[in-house]
Structure 1
Amino acid sequence: MKVYLTLMAIAALVAYVATPAMRHLAFRVGAITAVRERDVHTTPIPRLGGIAIFLGLAVAGVVASAVPFLDPVFAAGREPWAVLGAAAIVCALGMADDIWDLDWMAKLGGQFLAGLVLAWGGVQLVTVPIAGVTIGSSYVSLIATVFVVVIAMNAVNFVDGLDGLAAGMIAIGGLAFFTYTYLLARSASPGDYSSLATIVVALLVGACLGFLPHNVHPARIFMGDSGSMVLGLMLAAAAIIVTGQIDPAVISERERIPAFIPIMLPIMVLAVPLIDMTAAVIRRAARGESPFSPDKHHLHHLLLRRGHSHRWAVTVLYLWTAVLSFGTVSVVFLPPWLSAVAIVLGIAGAAAVTLSPRFARFFSRQWRRAGHAVFALQRATPEGRSVREDDAVGTPTTSKEDA
């Protein structure tokens, strides 16, 4: 676990340090998001933050290749480098789009190329862990892999509409995914906890956490397509590795991990982006428009129109991601009945916050009041010193602890 957490910290540090440099670069090359009718920001914001995210992934990935504990992963084949290579392709594609605004056909072609590179490197969907279904045809496996990768990239891209939204959602869902993949590695191969899926998710979470401080509202930089497509690809790669290359039969019954978890968890992590993307495609197709044409009817737009503030709209979507992803993972740790209760309570709480902006505002006020009270208490009693009436007239008085 320490190795994975260290890699996560390295990815976070590199992404955090590199983001200001990418902000400066965005101004130099003109990669600026102007204020458009569908946007919620009111001033032009630089993008290219996705390059910093990719740098965090790449540097931490190279460090991982030099760690003896992870030698089995890097000695087994070219899969780790295929993941980073595919991520480099979509990062370059997104950077070009952030600077020159490519048309949707060019972007889709680049996404297919990245999916093919991933599959060529050995990261392919070869089994579906439900009833032991195996994809017998290599062509079908290739098509399924590319399809999953393209869907994941576009799902994250569609939901990336508010400050800190995409990076935070992927970080939250990624933490749940990280927990599961680590436990799965322990169960599948006792004595050797090295796992490519766990490495990929650890790097993904770390890069998101490093970028997030620069991207929360009010954002100083956007990740752009160079970031959203990288996040989607990395999550899809981890899902394919877990879903297609780990046989549920080797999991110990003691852990009681259901066979459907490997395929359900990635869906739950991306549930909110997938719902948003599906609704957008249906909505635009019904109007006779391109599925990639922009509008102001995404989930985050609906939350803003319902009365949520910018930060609370993001928090609501964070909350749903946490409930769905950690709720799914809870099946691994808790008895079925307790897991079901936790999921139902989580959904009820998330629904209450979603449907009632007043409740969200009340909670926000109470949170701020509690913070002000703590701050006032800290100012009143610095370093644990007791404040007494004698202090007001300058008489030095100490508490028993000070004596």
Structure 2
Amino acid sequence: MRDYLLTLCVTVAVTYLLTGPVRKFAIAAGATPEIRARDVHREPTPRLGGIAMFGGLCAGLLVADHLQNLNGVFELSNEPRALLSGAALIWLIGVLDDKFEIDALIKLGAQMIAAAVMVMQGLTILWLPIPGFGTVSLTQWQGNLLTVALVVVTINAVNFVDGLDGLAAGLVCIASAAFFLYAYRLWFGYSIEEAAPATLFAAILMGMCVGFLPHNMHPARIFMGDSGSMLIGLVLAAAAISITGQVDPDAMELWAGGERNATHAMLPVFIPLVLPLTIIAIPAADLVLAIVRRTWNGQSPFAADRGHLHHRLLEIGHSHSRAVLIMYFWAALIAFGALAYSVHSASTWIVLMIMGLSAVGLVLLLLPRFSPRAPRWAQALVPPRYRHSTRQLEGDAPEFGELEAEPVTVGVSGVNGATAVGPRSRFPDRRKVDSAR
């Protein structure tokens, strides 16, 4: 565990320290796009934060290669090199997109090429556990096709959810934390060496997100851009593929008492990691809803809009920070709930706890609808925002200083000799008061 913590801390430090210079470079390079109609931020913010995250990835892999307990991952497996090559390719495409706005189809093709590069180096799914049948071996083309599909879906799921300050980095950090605990349990709890690369990938991914979050929380000083969102999506997919498709089913039988029992024992987390629907359930759901919504409206599935889950949270009355925290809550509930259920699937209290926390999450979602409105007799006892809501509902007159709708002619001549018309304030004209004095 100490080696993983050291790798995590180095990745955090490098990512955090690089983000400041990267922000200055992004501003100098002109990677500060204008605010679009679908954006929720109010000031132009530089992108290219993925450069710092890629630096953290390289630093984490370099440190792990020189640690005694982790260098075996590089000696016995080619997966770290496969990850680095695929990540470098997708990161380069993301950097170009952050600067020059590459077409969506070109990015999709680059994502498939990056996935194919990892497949060619051995990072692929070899078998799947199917409930009721045990483990099903895949042919080479089936495994390769499923691997490419998983990588592309995960990259776009993370990319689609990157719409609020700190949202994508926080969700992936939560997912990678749950993933790390799951992989670490297989590696050190059951001595399954095939889980070692996935454990390392999850630790490094956590470090990348934690190091970038201080610069990306609301109000964000820099965005990760496609160079960052596609990068962390690819790393998350690589970790899922590594542990799902590479873990030997025979090793599972040793502690589960048979192939079929092993499949059922791992099912709560095993199958979701393949697709993946548990670890990144929130981004995956947002991706599916976005594709259905845009296709139904006759738009391209890659056409940007303001219909994502985080946009809907803002529309119903949540603040920016509260919307992000609510998404964090649901992501943690799904990821760690599935993790806890995979460990103690026979425990009833885990199911009851998940149901109770889900009820709390629903209350948080509907919180703006429960905003209290004080009665007239209690207005003096409550904050001003509740008094203002009550008066607006009852149709009272506006407070002193609020604008009225009546036009008033001011003494400023226009270009054609006309006078400007504007709203009249109930504040007295300070210039007239001064002249009267």
2:107 equivalent to 1:114: no
Offset at residue 154 of structure 1 (A): 0.3
Deviation digits for residues 238-270 of structure 1 (CA, Å, limit 9, x no counterpart): 001111111345232399882212222542121
Matched residue SS, 2:256: coil
CA, structure 1 residues 216+340, in 2 after alignment: closer, same or farther (shift >3 Å)? same
Retained in 1: the 8 A contact 2:194–2:247?
A: no
Q: Distance in 2 between matches of 1:112 and 1:332?
A: 32
Q: How does 1:1-400 map to 2 (within 5 A)?
A: 1-130=1-130, 131-189=133-191, 195-251=196-252, 252-253=255-256, 258-260=265-267, 261-265=269-273, 266-334=276-344, 335-357=346-368
Deviation digits for residues 28-55 of structure 1 (CA, Å, limit 9, x no counterpart): 1111132111110000000010111111
Offset at residue 106 of structure 1 (A): 1.0
Matched residue SS, 1:195: helix
Residue identity matched to 1:253: A
Deviation digits for residues 258-285 of structure 1 (CA, Å, limit 9, x no counterpart): 2212222542121111111111101111
> Which segment is superposed worse, 250-259 or 88-97?
250-259
Retained in 2: the 8 A contact 1:47–1:221?
A: yes
Retained in 1: the 8 A contact 2:135–2:249?
A: no
Matched residue SS, 1:22: helix
Offset at residue 187 of structure 1 (A): 3.4
- TM-score under structure 2 normalisation? 0.79
Residue correspondences, number: 361
Q: Distance in 1 between matches of 2:136 and 2:245?
A: 9
Greater Cα radius of gyration, structure 1 or 2? 2
Aligned structure 1 segments of 4 or more residues deviating by more than 3 angstroms: 253-257, 332-335, 358-361
CA, structure 1 residues 12+360, in 2 after alignment: closer, same or farther (shift >3 Å)? farther
Deviation digits for residues 219-251 of structure 1 (CA, Å, limit 9, x no counterpart): 000000000001110110000111111134523
Listed as ranges, the gaps of 5+ residues in structure 1 are 362-403
Deviation digits for residues 154-186 of structure 1 (CA, Å, limit 9, x no counterpart): 000000000000000111111111111000112
Retained in 1: the 8 A contact 2:4–2:200?
A: yes
Q: Distance in 1 between matches of 2:230 and 2:205?
A: 12
Q: Distance in 2 between matches of 1:117 and 1:314?
A: 34
Retained in 2: the 8 A contact 1:248–1:259?
A: no
Q: Distance in 1 between matches of 2:18 and 2:265?
A: 41
Residue identity matched to 2:337: G
For 1:364, the equivalent position in structure 2 comes to none
Offset at residue 296 of structure 1 (A): 0.6
Q: Distance in 1 between matches of 2:85 and 2:15?
A: 18
CA, structure 1 residues 193+233, in 2 after alignment: closer, same or farther (shift >3 Å)? closer
Matched residue SS, 1:134: strand
Retained in 1: the 8 A contact 2:194–2:248?
A: no
Deviation digits for residues 322-364 of structure 1 (CA, Å, limit 9, x no counterpart): 0000000112444531221121122111111112236699xxx
Matched residue SS, 1:69: coil
Listed as ranges, the gaps of 5+ residues in structure 2 are 373-437
Deviation digits for residues 64-86 of structure 1 (CA, Å, limit 9, x no counterpart): 11112123211113211110111
CA, structure 1 residues 7+226, in 2 after alignment: closer, same or farther (shift >3 Å)? same
Residue identity matched to 1:226: S
Q: Distance in 2 between matches of 1:201 and 1:167?
A: 13
Deviation digits for residues 178-223 of structure 1 (CA, Å, limit 9, x no counterpart): 1110001123427x69700000000000110000000000000000
For 2:401, the equivalent position in structure 1 comes to none
Offset at residue 25 of structure 1 (A): 1.1
Task: Calculate percent identity across the aligned residue pairs.
Answer: 43
Q: Distance in 1 between matches of 2:137 and 2:226?
A: 32
Matched residue SS, 1:99: helix
Q: Distance in 2 between matches of 1:104 and 1:355?
A: 35
RMSD: 2.1
> Which segment is superposed worse, 250-259 or 280-289?
250-259
Retained in 2: the 8 A contact 1:32–1:47?
A: yes
Residue identity matched to 1:178: F
Q: Whose relative contact order is higher, 1 or 2, with alpha carbons under 8 Å and at least 6 apart? A: 1
Q: Distance in 1 between matches of 2:371 and 2:71?
A: 48
CA, structure 1 residues 69+193, in 2 after alignment: closer, same or farther (shift >3 Å)? farther
Q: Distance in 2 between matches of 1:97 and 1:5?
A: 33
Q: Distance in 1 between matches of 2:161 and 2:339?
A: 23
Matched residue SS, 1:48: coil
Offset at residue 134 of structure 1 (A): 2.8
Q: Distance in 1 between matches of 2:10 and 2:175?
A: 19
Deviation digits for residues 61-112 of structure 1 (CA, Å, limit 9, x no counterpart): 0111111212321111321111011111111110000000000111011101
